[in-house]
Structure 1
Amino acid sequence: MVNTLDASFVTEGCWKPGLFEGKVVIVTGGAGTICRVQTEAMVLLGCQAAIVGRNEESTVAAAEEISRLGSDGCVLPLYNIDVRDFKQMEEAVARTLARFGRIDFVIAGAAGNFICDFAHMSPNAFKTVVDIDLLGSFNTVKACFPQLVKNKGSILFVSATLHYYGVPFQSHVGAAKAGIDALSNALAVELGPLGIRSNCIAPGPIGGTEGFRRLVQKDLRDKAIESVPLQRLGTTRDIAESTVFLFSPASAFVTGTISVVDGGAWHVGTHFSHNMYPKQLVERMRSKL
């Protein structure tokens, strides 16, 4: 996978070159489509980054490619790390500190998702998504907490809009993301006196992502675009721009917020009717009754 962003993000963009010079971000899910581009943006603006993933090949490849946007060795791949395991996250933090000496920003973006109707979803399947998304986010921030206190750092959770209304076959994800929002809000209030900010970013329909590919069938994607007030799909760059804003000094007084990046889509209600999903899922659910 080639980088989505390039030097024009700085030379032709909104942000001051070197905005994050001397800063370090740790990113879980950093080899995925959304979190990878978030990392690209941070690196282009001078940040050093550690990306955490389970798969060695994809994590190392992403780190090598993103490194080309910054200085040599500016991206550290941390693979074979399961965010559900707190000790593994502590190890990831220790390796980041050994390499870069500090952590200023945290992006908790590791996530799991699949389409499944409630009738066929096992307790283990539900638990897996909640553990990756919610427990994994907790473990990530908990492991980074001493550095966040030391550097008056900032946390960014990657949430969603699936729990703002009923979305069929996504009850597991909606429950996990609702928990993430609650966690972020609580940390914003509790950790504010320590100078730590906590916010969420909630992507809506973002083109070119694995989530959009899974959730929306090809023949219904044009209809999905029509339902967005801004009449287009979001891009990973849209997420990157909002990420930079929330970590930048421009957001120094912004904490406990959920930045929804969806072109206004959630305000017009759900368009994720059963027709937006494979019809066989509805039939399978009925057959279970």
Structure 2
Amino acid sequence: MFAPNTLAGRVAFITGGATGIGLEIATQYSRLGASVVLASRNQERLDAAVEALSKEGAKVAAYRMDVRNPEEVEAAIAFTLERFGALDILVNNAAGNFPCPTATLSPNGWRTVIDIDLNGTFYCCSAAYEALKASRFGGSIISIITMLGVTGWPNAAHAAAAKAGILSLSRTLAVEWGGDGIRVNTISPGPIGDTVGVQRMYEETGRAEVEKKRTALGRFGQCADIANAAIFLGSDLSGYVTGDNLIVDGGRWLKYVAA
């Protein structure tokens, strides 16, 4: 679909990059010429991801960090610049969530998800600003959210609020940082079948067919669908696109239900 040199020379930093959507984005980015730095709290998963990508000939490095810690985030960006000499694309993919009725959601539970999703995204954007401003390609920030943060997410008020906050933050930064050559966009995935989250929430609970019917296309998506969107937003193909929320959810946000 994309030319082999679509991302040639670019350096991408991807949080939550050791598994799932983050790893698929890293994989596709590297195949199109980008150098990638994977960030995660789990060293074992990072090691496995780096090993897999290295076997493909990818230019890849990993940094263990917690997005909730701004000092660790700043150190990770510094590591990226030292290792690859630049930073052109920031992908905010790290996220936390757990189902809980809002009436019984504890302050600590609320705080934890807000801290990972919303605060972590801000810390990464802030730490990466100067490097993205200096990018010879023009910087690109891509944050993974969900339309459930716009339409409402019963039993996940913490995650819904965080994702809505990321959307607002991204559009604010698109305006503030546009003059610095930095584009800021979001991607809203729907149910992605080859992720642990969907497997646990829907397939293992027997809800898979119902959830598929909630999409206009009647099926789950794949991590590759989100990676394709991230390639578009990270490349010159979207050079005049900023402040956008690219919905890749099979039409679930339309609340379609098959007969």
Band the TM-score falls in, shorter-chain normalisation: over 0.9
Distance of 1:201 and 1:253 partners within structure 2: 16
Counterpart selection for 2:211 from 210, 220, 224: 224
1:103-252 → structure 2 map (5 Å cutoff): 103-151=87-135, 152-216=138-202, 218-252=205-239
**Offset of 1:97 from its aligned partner?**
1.2
- Give the match's secondary structure for 2:50: helix
**Offset of 1:211 from its aligned partner?**
2.3
User: Is 1:27 the counterpart of 2:6 in the alignment?
Assistant: no
How many residue pairs get matched? 255
**Identity, % of aligned positions:** 40
**Offset of 1:160 from its aligned partner?**
1.0
Tell me if the contact between 1:27 and 1:109 (Cα under 8 Å) persists in the aligned partners.
yes
1:44-55 → structure 2 map (5 Å cutoff): 44-55=31-42
Question: TM-score, normalization: structure 2?
Answer: 0.94
Q: Deviations for 1:149-184, whole angstroms, at most 9, x for unmatched residues?
A: 101210000111212323221111000000000000
Residue equivalent to 2:4: 17
- Give the match's secondary structure for 2:207: helix
Distance of 1:92 and 1:146 partners within structure 2: 14
Tell me if the contact between 1:165 and 1:270 (Cα under 8 Å) persists in the aligned partners.
no
Residue 232 of structure 1 aligns to which amino acid in structure 2?
Answer: R
**Offset of 1:188 from its aligned partner?**
0.5
**Offset of 1:270 from its aligned partner?**
8.8
- Structure 1 residues 270 and 159 mapped into 2: Cα distance closer, same or farther (>3 Å)? farther
RMSD, matched Cα: 1.5
Distance of 1:137 and 1:46 partners within structure 2: 25
Residue equivalent to 1:76: 61
Distance of 1:133 and 1:32 partners within structure 2: 17
Distance of 1:231 and 1:115 partners within structure 2: 24
Tell me if the contact between 2:214 and 2:257 (Cα under 8 Å) persists in the aligned partners.
no
Tell me if the contact between 1:165 and 1:269 (Cα under 8 Å) persists in the aligned partners.
no
Where in structure 1 are there 5+ consecutive unaligned residues? 1-13, 272-289
- Give the match's secondary structure for 2:206: helix
**Offset of 1:249 from its aligned partner?**
1.1
**Offset of 1:218 from its aligned partner?**
3.5
**Offset of 1:239 from its aligned partner?**
0.4
Residue equivalent to 2:50: 63
Tell me if the contact between 2:189 and 2:249 (Cα under 8 Å) persists in the aligned partners.
yes
- Structure 1 residues 95 and 270 mapped into 2: Cα distance closer, same or farther (>3 Å)? farther
Distance of 2:16 and 2:152 partners within structure 1: 26
**Offset of 1:19 from its aligned partner?**
1.5
Higher Cα Rg, which structure: 1
Residue 259 of structure 1 aligns to which amino acid in structure 2?
Answer: L
Residue equivalent to 1:9: none
Residue 242 of structure 1 aligns to which amino acid in structure 2?
Answer: A
**Offset of 1:269 from its aligned partner?**
5.9
**Offset of 1:84 from its aligned partner?**
1.0
Distance of 1:255 and 1:214 partners within structure 2: 34
Distance of 2:87 and 2:55 partners within structure 1: 21
- Give the match's secondary structure for 1:114: coil
Distance of 1:35 and 1:240 partners within structure 2: 8
Q: Deviations for 1:51-109, whole angstroms, at most 9, x for unmatched residues?
A: 111111111111221222334xx110101x11111111111011111111110000011
Distance of 1:194 and 1:270 partners within structure 2: 43
